[in-house]
Structure 1
Amino acid sequence: MGPPLRLPLCGLILSLPLTAAAWCEAPRKLERVATDDFRAGLARWRLEAEDTRAIVTAENGVLDIATPAGLSLWWREPLGGDYAIRFTAAALPAPASAGPHAGRISDLNMFWNALETDGGEPYPRSGKFAGYDGLPTYYVGFGANANTTTRLRLYDGSQRRLLAGFADASIAEPGELPMTPATRLLTNKPISVEIVSRQPTAADPIHLRWSADSNEVFTRADANPRLHGYFALRTTASRLQIRDFQILQCR
């Protein structure tokens, strides 16, 4: 357990302990720089929903997303430096408005380090998945395609590149591993998600870590990594509940 952290939150200074992380080497320490406890609406998020029947609420400590079609929810503040995003997520049966997809468990997805090709903030889109094809970003689809795939992709502005993935045999792409219990969603089972983005070093060239329940599902050590930009929760024909959203920086 690390030393107490003085955290500014809603005008108050709180003293909180913060656990050290292996990727944040001493003498630097993790600092919690932003949170959303989902008790005050969606002021810190920008919604893009393909279908007007989508219902998104943030109250009583829960971000509740129920959508019949594509939906992205963008955190309004850009992220950079050595940082981590942490939150807890649970997948529930998709709403009746999802039609043939009603009741399915699917698509705990996200974009991060997203910037337009000119380096600007992602411009508003309709929420349809294909509309993001030209947006340079990293993307993870966890339990996507009706809970049959978990994939890490890099969007480079012209194509979506599969970097690593897991898939059921019938739809697996070359090089993908079989799905496992650690890469599949379970109904209403909370998952602790952590995304780490950091400057690679000679001692630790890994710049990207994506973990579920402390299991590192994806890691990358690329020559030209994306290290800053915007984050969005992404889903389609699903229902998700998100809690305890926080952003930490290694300083």
Structure 2
Amino acid sequence: MNIQKFNSNRFYILSLLCLSVFMLSCEKKAHTVHINDSLTAKATLIYNDAFENDLDDWKVEQMPEGKVEIKDGKLEITDVAGCTIWQKMSFRGPIMIEYDVVVIDNGGPQDRVSDLNCFWMAIDPENSNNIFENSEKRGGKFSNYDTLRLYYMGVGGHYNTKTRFRRYVGDGNRPLLPEHDYTDPDFLLTPNKPYKIKIIAFDGIIQYYRNDILMVDFFDKNPYQSGHFGFRTVNNHMTVDNFKVYQLSATKK
């Protein structure tokens, strides 16, 4: 056999194998998501943090005496007076955010079962290109976030008596619709229970799931299309793992 031809064929076969492996890898990262009865979307993974190394991708804003650290392969938050842990990347929709979380109650000083909260699609209208311009000024104090434009979900607030969804408009107003003020025990927190959170922002469709249970299904006529995600809590002890962000694109049913 001609050696040059053999090497050429071998290179071609190896190239096909590499391409196949690449395509299989991409397929694993993309899957179909059911959003509602008339909409499904292809979800392609664009960011993933398993919290195995450091917090270089995150910006911590925290009141004194609290701690945010990587411990045992998870993000562990031990907070006293309030904190927000921002993802430094700004994501443009449509997107889906997923993560695993446990609110801890093992008798520790901050083991208060309350406030499994988060922000998403957040910007600072005063500094639309840099949400961190006023980071030190906010410092983790909850009221200092009122002037941001964002979506907010507060699960088990007020000592685990209320769950609320709000759309902050960016001027200090945080309207609360009656249908987004929950007190049903099924919408509150159980200590030490693993929760999988899923958030969808698909144009005007804003959804929040916990363990595949749809808790918020809101249509925004003027949706926020891009911004930062942040974990938010106060006087709480919890762990977070497997944070993922997916780009969504509509598919035909």
TM-score (norm 1): 0.80
Is 1:199 matched with 2:242? Answer: no
Could you tell me which runs of 5 or more consecutive residues in structure 2 were left unpaired when the two chains were aligned: 1-19
Residues 1:105 and 2:113 aligned together: yes
Question: 1: CA distance between counterparts of 2:106 and 2:148?
Answer: 27
Residue equivalent to 2:33: 21
1:233 alignment partner in structure 2: 231
Measure, in 2, the Cα distance between the counterparts of 1:150 and 1:74. 21
Say whether residues 1:179 and 2:184 are aligned partners. yes
Kindly provide the amino acid, as one letter, of the partner of residue 165 in structure 2.
Answer: L
CA RMSD in angstroms, aligned pairs only: 2.5
Alignment of 1:103-182 (within 5 A): 103-118=111-126, 119-123=128-132, 124=135, 125-158=138-171, 159-163=173-177, 176-181=181-186
- Gapped regions of structure 1 (runs ≥ 5): 8-12, 167-175, 201-206
Of the three residues 82, 88, 98, the one matched with 2:94 is: 82
The residue matched to 2:28 in structure 1 has which SS? strand
Provide the secondary structure at the position in 2 that maps to 1:140: strand
Query: 1-side partners of 2:201 and 2:73: how far apart?
Result: 26
Question: Share of identical aligned residues, percent?
Answer: 26
Report how many aligned residue pairs link the two structures.
221
Taking the aligned partners of 2:153 and 2:22, their CA distance within structure 1 comes to: 32
CA shift digits 1:182-229 (9 cap, x unpaired): x111111011100101124xxxxxx10011011110011121111211
Is the contact made by 1:150 and 1:165 (CA closer than 8 Å) also made in structure 2? no
Residue aligning to 2:46: 33
Q: Secondary structure, in 3 states, of the residue corresponding to 1:16?
A: helix
Give the residue type in structure 1 aligned to 2:192. N
Task: Assess if the C-alpha contact under 8 Å between 1:68 and 1:95 holds in 2.
Answer: no
**Matching residue of 1:203:** none
- Structure-2 residue corresponding to 1:204: none
- 2:11 corresponds in structure 1 to none
1:242 aligns with 2:240: yes
The equivalences for 1:51-90 within 5 A come to: 51=64, 53-90=65-102
Cα–Cα, structure 1 residues 247 and 6, in superposed 2: closer, same or farther, change >3 Å?
A: farther
Describe the SS at the equivalent of 1:114. strand
- Whether the aligned pair in 2 keeps the contact of 1:152 and 1:165 (CA below 8 Å) is no
**Cα distance, 1:93 vs structure 2:** 2.8
- Structure with the largest fraction of helix: 2
Residue 69 of structure 1 and its aligned partner are, at CA, apart by 1.3
Counterpart amino acid of 2:175?
R
